[in-house]
Structure 1
Amino acid sequence: MSSIIEKAPAKINLGLDIVGKREDGYHELSMIMVSVDLSDYVTVTEIDSNEIVIESNNHKMPLNGRNDVFKAAAMIRERYGISKGVKIVLEKSIPICAGLGGGSTDAAATIRALNQLWDLNLSKSEMVSIGFEIGSDVPYCIEAGCSLISGKGEVVECLDSRISSWVVLVKPEFGVSTRTVFPEIDCSTISRVNIPALKEAILSQDYQAMISHMGNSLEDVTISRKPFIQKIKDKMMKCGADVALMTGSGPTVFALCQTEKKADRIVNGMRGFCKEVYKVRIL
């Protein structure tokens, strides 16, 4: 049986702004995300039995209909009348419940892989449509790279970005569920992020302007529940980070720095503070 292997990179939010609450109850988002070279790998293989089988090296992963990868495969099989079974192997390196888009990027990789495996010839917009039914970050993850995301996550504008930076990721021992964060948002008091100014800085390759406009509206909510996140940010800045910011709804914090020497200093400073520390590059 032939197999298709897809790389599924993690993402970080350079900017995340809560624009307001929509009439349908969802929040209107404006975000700029970039991919980093911490990646999962998704391998899909056709099998004789008419079922979806998921295996993973991470024992904390649900291997049933609660997994976004399972949802993606089930949706594609139903929508396109596929009667063949598939085995999906998830090789996890991205921490789960971390704000790094692990579940979303795995689902996106599954959609891309099954498109090839079953010769579906789906367009990017068709894959985005399937992805959006699974989760609001999946449309971005179909393409990845550096993008401006708006609406509920379904509007993705790729940005011509050449950001060259080292990234240090620090994941504390606890996780945060995105679903529990959004109900606590008060749009009248939450801090705002100037996404248009951040976009302009990225497009003009002005690193100093970029870091000055970076921000995450969800920090207010998550840090009030988990003050340790602020301690990580403060320690990263003390170690020499150019900027330290929570990604997504947390709890992972990332630091950007332009030299590897500075990144190594932050890694060494954080190793005794948290177990999960990663030094990566923006892709």
Structure 2
Amino acid sequence: MGIVTDGLKLQAYAKINLSLDVLRQREDGYHEVRMVMQTIQLHDRIDLFPKKEPGIDIHTNLSFLPVNENNLMFRAAKLLIDEFGLEGGVRMRLQKIIPVSAGMAGGSSDAAAVLDGMNRLFSLGLSREELRKRGLRLGADVPFCLMRGAALSEGIGERLSPLPGMPPCWIVIAKPAFSISTRFVYENLHVGRLPRSAHPDVDAVISALNAGEIPALSKNMGNILETVSCREHPEIRAIKERMLSLGALGTLMSGSGPSVFGLFSEKSAAEHCRRDFRFGEGRRLAGQAFLTEPWLPKAAKGRKGRMAKYSRRLYE
């Protein structure tokens, strides 16, 4: 097989953290985590084309995004171009929808999509596991973004164990106008000083996913990084409280923030919440608001009944 000369259209999906615990800070400075991540339908769009001339060209709808080696998409493409000695280069068009610097792995997901796209575009023959190993060199979230679905993430994020995906529900995401430095959050976490009660019950979230129970999932969601982010930015807690007042079953900050998501069992209530953050009282708290759903593997789309239990092979 040769190069796919007419290019590829890719989708890079966002993630949310259903539970995020930090166990300790390692001697090398990295933090050891135990967290549950879930892919959602909200996604960026990437068009990927080969070109005869060497180089990597990136065009995006957001003028403030870097289009050089500071962009993970650029680094993902360069990694495979250099490794395989590919002739020519690539041109990419990014339609950015996932909020930037939001704790939703937008940049990592874009990089994962480019790795997968480059593999197909140039017929490199890399397996999913081989792609994930290369993705880890770009960032701890990239292997999960290649995997998609739901997973328990351990170590520094490199050890992934597939989990049943979320049952059917509606997800409202609200992103405040400010951003939070992930480095700042971890540097100010001081996990050794926190009480046991600050650590979320990750196992309870896994049990809720296995049972396909949104109420139990909503009740047990937790994110230890809120101890820092909510202290520095009270708006995050205010967004959570606003969502609960509008009918959310549970709310949580994703990653290091500042995005907050709420889970709803009814679309009408979820849409009312989204509109409140776009046009109503909630607008003073959030600059962006989205309504989305859990991501489903293609093999599961269209199935009737509960969507939670998928076999391990769907995530390979």
TM-score, normalised to structure 2, is: 0.87
Which position in structure 2 is the counterpart of 1:278? 290
Alignment of 1:73-152 (within 5 A): 73-152=77-156
Is the deviation greater in 171-180 or in 59-68? 171-180
Aligned length: 283
Q: Does 1:210 align with 2:210?
A: no
Asked if 1:251 corresponds to 2:258, the answer is yes
Partners of 2:183 and 2:79 in 1: CA distance: 22
Q: Could you tell me how far apart the structure 1 residues matched to 2:124 and 2:97 are?
A: 29
**Tell me, what secondary structure is at the counterpart of 1:134?**
coil
What value does the CA root-mean-square deviation take over the aligned residues? Answer: 1.2
- Counterpart pick for 2:208 among 180, 201, 206: 201
- Cα distance in 2 for partners of 1:275, 1:207 equals 27
Deviates more, 1:140-149 or 1:271-280: 271-280
1:1-283, aligned counterparts within 5 Å? Answer: 1-190=5-194, 191-271=198-278, 272=280, 273=283, 274-283=286-295
**Runs of 5+ unmatched residues, structure 1:** none
TM-aligned CA deviation for residue 23 of structure 1: 2.4
1:212-265: per-residue Cα shift (whole Å, max 9, x none)? 211011111111111111111111111111111100110011000111122122
In the alignment, structure 2 segments of 5+ residues that lack a partner are: 296-316
Structure 1 distance, partners of 2:149, 2:192, is 32
Between 246-255 and 39-48, the greater mean CA deviation after superposition: 39-48
SS state at 1:188 partner: helix
Deviation string, structure 1 residues 174-196 (Cα, Å, up to 9, x no partner) = 11221222111111234211112
Please say if residues 132 and 153 of structure 1, whose CA atoms lie closer than 8 Å, have aligned partners that are also in contact.
Answer: no
Whole-Å separation in 1 of the counterparts to 2:243 and 2:257: 16
* AA partner of residue 124 (structure 1): R
Runs of 4+ in 1 over 6 A off after TM superposition: none
